[in-house]
Structure 1
Amino acid sequence: MGLRCIAAISSLAALIVSAVPEVQNLTPPDESFQEESLPTPEASAMVEILDYIPDIKVELRYATENNFTGKQIYDFTDARLRYGTVLKLKAAQAQLQQEGLTLLIWDAYRPVSAQFNLWNACPDPVYVANPNTGYSSHSQGNTVDVTIVQTSGAPVEMPTDFDNFTAKADRNYEDCTSQEAANAQKLEDIMVQAGFKPYSGEWWHFSDTDAYPVQE
């Protein structure tokens, strides 16, 4: 074959290759590389709240000395609740986030032994459940003590701090400023809508409407 013929064939082949569109990789991605999601537990399973609501804020007061006893009550720092309760708390958190706010957890699951320590420090059934006659709902893992803060962690005006054993701690907000009352009422409305019932003596205390056995 002559050199001119060979050159012509080579030019034609190059033209054909350049005309073929680039083939996209249509192979579906390997699902094994996708981030594994957390398992879905039973509603009664005790879980760590931050595993399912990573943007919620936690400050377990009884895991520190910053509480009314002045002593560390818990030997753990992770806040836990029943999974069914966590789902309701997640709904409340999502609603607050639309306003640039977030929940801050002061207390969640409380061991029975810790309840005895709290009762010994404050034997007043208005503020601390008497473990000799029953159990705190915190020990069911369906009760949480919460407040509202900015997403930056900055506090908003609320009637009192945590574990304030005065009349201002109850849900009669007539002795509060208008802003304190509005914020406390906002928290109550959102938590009730999510499936919690408030305790009249403490504006921060909410229990799941679904009850569970006490977790010893």
Structure 2
Amino acid sequence: MHCPQLPVEQSLSHGENRLEKAAQTLGKDVLKRLIIFVLYTLGFNRELIAKLFGYQVAGVKTLVDRVLINGLEGFCDHRKTKIVSENKPSVAIADTETHKEINLSEAVIAVPKDDILARKIISVTLVETGSLSNLEGAKILDYTPQAFGRLREKYRFQGSYGLIDQRQGQKSDYKVTPEVKAEILFQICNKVRENTTFSSE
């Protein structure tokens, strides 16, 4: 993906109208954070961005780092969601010799380490439903938060098909179709809310 070279033309009147509509939908704070992050990704320096929006330079850096680690969640105001997050079930992700164990409240999911598709679908589904954070989902796959964020984007656009390794050797490994396997794993994820202990095998 290439960074576009922006033309100098700008309509302030159009901009005001568009900002107002976007703020009504997203909220002013989220919209401001989105614009700051976009300006950063387009190559503007943090000092200029901080001056435009009344931020400290360190605040701009913190926002950018948070978005790069947590994805879309990074645009949310964590001070406002703190009370909600206190009610989230505790999560622990442990490694055994052969499995990744996801302990979510009283439910335990044991996923074979060599079943990459299962780990992808379970981790992405739990994160997309809000049961895990982006960072916790990344740990299940031993991914960086950024790489896991890209995997979530593929899932949003392509569904479970986007999680399948397209190399021919791996595609032939499945005893059932990936679509059937995805549905089975989706049902497993739903059982998390029922506090059931089980293995994905």
| Same fold? TM cut 0.5 | no
- TM-score normalized by structure 2? 0.21
- TM-score normalized by structure 1? 0.20
Find the structure with the greater CA-based Rg.
1
Greater helix percent: which structure? Answer: 2
